Amino acid sequence: EDQVTQSPEALRLQEGESSSLNCSYTVSGLRGLFWYRQDPGKGPEFLFTLYSAGEEKEKERLKATLTKKESFLHITAPKPEDSATYLCAALKSGGSYIPTFGRGTSLIVHP
């Protein structure tokens, strides 16, 4: 069964304290790995898609990387406005084109 596991469940950082969020996946034949940001009371907002091991994508203070078993979302010098829940989802090749989501990491950045 396809599984996506995110860690940690929750993370508290001080402003400027860099860290990484982990997304481990067991999907037979990965087609794409997606990262979303979700703010309270809102739906997930798309951030990145990674397609192959070794690929990296960047957006402001966020950088997503991908290996054959996991993905990392690196947050460099975070600001309070980066506080949100970060979700990853894995899409396997073939089949229904429906990604499997992880439970997310709740990030709080203190000023």
Partner 1 sequence: EAGVTQFPSHSVIEKGQTVTLRCDPISGHDNLYWYRRVMGKEIKFLLHFVKESKQDESGMPNNRFLAERTGGTYSTLKVQPAELEDSGVYFCASSEFRGGDGYTFGSGTRLTVV
Contact with partner 1 (CB under 8 A) among 27, 34, 66, 71? 34
Encoded one letter per residue, x for contact with partner 1 by CB under 8 A and - for no contact, window 35-74 reads: -x----xxxxxx--x-------------------------
Identify which of residues 83 and 100 has a Cβ nearer to partner 1 in the complex. 100
Identify which of residues 28 and 97 has a Cβ nearer to partner 1 in the complex. 97
Task: Confirm or reject binding of residue 87 to partner 1 (CB under 8 A).
Answer: yes
* Helix (H/G/I), strand (E/B), else coil: 99: coil
C-alpha distances (whole Å) from 5 to each of 16, 45, 89, 99, 108 are 26, 19, 9, 13, 20
Strands 56-59 and 62-66: antiparallel
Select from 87, 64, 57, 68 the least CA-distant residue to 30.
68
Task: Confirm or reject binding of residue 25 to partner 1 (CB under 8 A).
Answer: no
Task: Confirm or reject binding of residue 27 to partner 1 (CB under 8 A).
Answer: no
